Amino acid sequence: MEPLHQMGDIIAERYRLTNILGQGGIGITYEAEGKETGKRVALKEVSLRRLTDWKVLELFEREARVLSELNHPSIPAYLDYFQVDTPSDRSFYLVQEIAPGKSLAALVEVGWRASEGEAQKLAIRVLEILSYLHSLTPPVIHRDIKPQNIILAEGGRVSLVDFGAVQDTYRHTFAGSSTVVGTYGYMAPEQFRCQAEPATDLYGLGATLLFLLTHQSPADLPQRRLKIEFRSQVQISDDFAGWIETLIEPAVEDRFTSAKEALAVLLGEREMIYPRASALQQPAGSRIVVNKTASRLVVEIPPSELRFSRVFIKLSTLICKLLFFFLGLHFGLYMLSEMTSVYYARFLLLALLILVFSGLDEIASSLFSIVGTEQLDINLQTFRLRWRLLGLSYQVQGRAKNVQCSCDLNGCALVEELQVHRFGSKLMPAEKEWLVAELNNFLGKPLYK
């Protein structure tokens, strides 16, 4: 889009143009100075003659109206809104204070790459702005969070600019809109359906952080099931990577519920894992607890429900096994003492050891079904399977990348190449099938039975 003015031109006898700050589909933004005050301002212009869609003018007027009602130190203040008529055109102008510093896009262009700490500090500042916007009545949704619209000044001050895509929730989310606004690569999936809500801005922030950390457009990063796979492209902690993954979840309901929640988790004031609704139906009466986020799933399998009949059967079985074990041990030791042949003695000793260990295994299995617990903690890279019984615990760990989950009559299994890790032997068949489906759904793999 060619500018309509030359540098030095005076607009409405009030503002002298000094530079072009940016331009896009909705208009051109100039840097200008007040003719009388000398104060630097940002002057955004939309030309009626150049309009190809009347929706652009509606967006521009909405931007001016919303900005006039905002009051936040990190949002450049609204100063003026006016129009200028000429014989061949009518132009509309929005005047704001100018944000000090440079855009994140400009900083990356000259070689700046954000460290994890810098990215986190930046995210905190932006989330504070979004928390303010989303707390208004009605909530204000920016809809175009991207590197070009975030200004970073010396000392770490952050400003959010360009509210040209701004939306008020009540009017457009619930009533509907026919205009797709945003920037490809930074737009949440729901924006392609002309929808937006506060979590839409969180997606834009997550995509912006990826750009700062990778120097690549989020649209160019690998994807799986519409989700950006970026871990191989960055060197950041698992916690921060998981936090970003939650921001860029394709489904709105899988992101943080608000900017305040995202900020609390980032600051360590809230846990990252919390219960999420699943598309899979948990069997009625099941006591399994599943906590899930975008990057982690934790399964807790509690002891069997303590019903009298079940406990009686389990205890009766356990007592019988204990009696059998001690009788067998006593008989074996007696026979061993009577043996005169060394070979027979060795054979009996081996049989006795087998009996002892099988008996112990049976006893432990019975006890575990009554009071034992199991926990599976799995993310997209690793898994940990832990068993707890009477204060004792045992665990195995492995890589989740090539794991397959299955179930059979003996319980559930994690199949890791040549190793099989079994768990959930006390679950009902419906519970086993549901749990395996949950695990494979989380890992993005088909169900194996």
The per-residue pLDDT for 442 is: 79
Long-range CB contacts for residues 276-284, cutoff 8 Å, separation at least 24: 277/253, 278/438, 278/441, 279/441, 280/434, 280/437, 280/438, 280/441, 281/434, 282/434, 283/428, 283/430, 283/431, 283/434
Whole-angstrom distance, CA of residue 191 vs CA of residue 344: 80
Separation between Cα atoms, residue 393 and residue 382, nearest integer Å: 19
Residue with tokens 């600051």: 267
Q: Which of 53, 85, 144, 239 is catalytic?
A: 144
Q: Give the angle subtended at the CA of 229 by the CAs of 291 and 396, to the nearest 5°.
A: 45
pTM equals 0.63
- Here the contacts of 327-335 (C-beta below 8 Å, separation 24 or greater) are 328/355, 328/359, 329/355, 329/356, 329/359
Pair 99, 151: CB distance under 8 Å: yes
pLDDT tens per residue across span 88-144: 888 999 999 999 999 999 999 999 999 999 999 999 999 999 999 999 988 999 989
Least confident range of 50-64, 227-241, 300-314, 419-433: 300-314
Mean of all residue pLDDT scores within the chain: 80
Q: What is the pLDDT of residues 186-211, one digit of tens each?
A: 999 998 888 889 999 999 999 999 99
Inform me whether the pLDDT recorded for 36 exceeds 50: yes
Q: For 115-129, how does the pLDDT look when each residue is reduced to its tens digit (9 = 90+)?
A: 999 999 999 999 999
Query: Mean pLDDT, to the nearest integer, of 338-366?
Result: 54
Mark whether 239 is an active-site residue. no
Pick the CATH number of 102-266 from 1.10.630.10, 1.10.3720.10, 3.30.2090.10, 1.10.510.10: 1.10.510.10
Tell me the C-alpha distance between 100 and 119, whole Å. Answer: 19
pLDDT tens, position by position, 246-299: 999 998 888 888 999 999 999 988 766 544 444 567 888 888 998 877 678 899
Two tokens at 333? 């030791």
The CATH architecture assigned to 10-97 reads: 2-Layer Sandwich (3.30)
| Cα–Cα dist 233/227, whole Å | 14
Mean pLDDT value of segment 359-387: 73
**Residue 184: φ, ψ to 5°:** -55, 135
Q: What is the pLDDT of residue 135?
A: 93
Q: How many helices (H) and strands (E) does the chain have?
A: 10, 21
Residue 175 has pLDDT above 50, yes or no: no
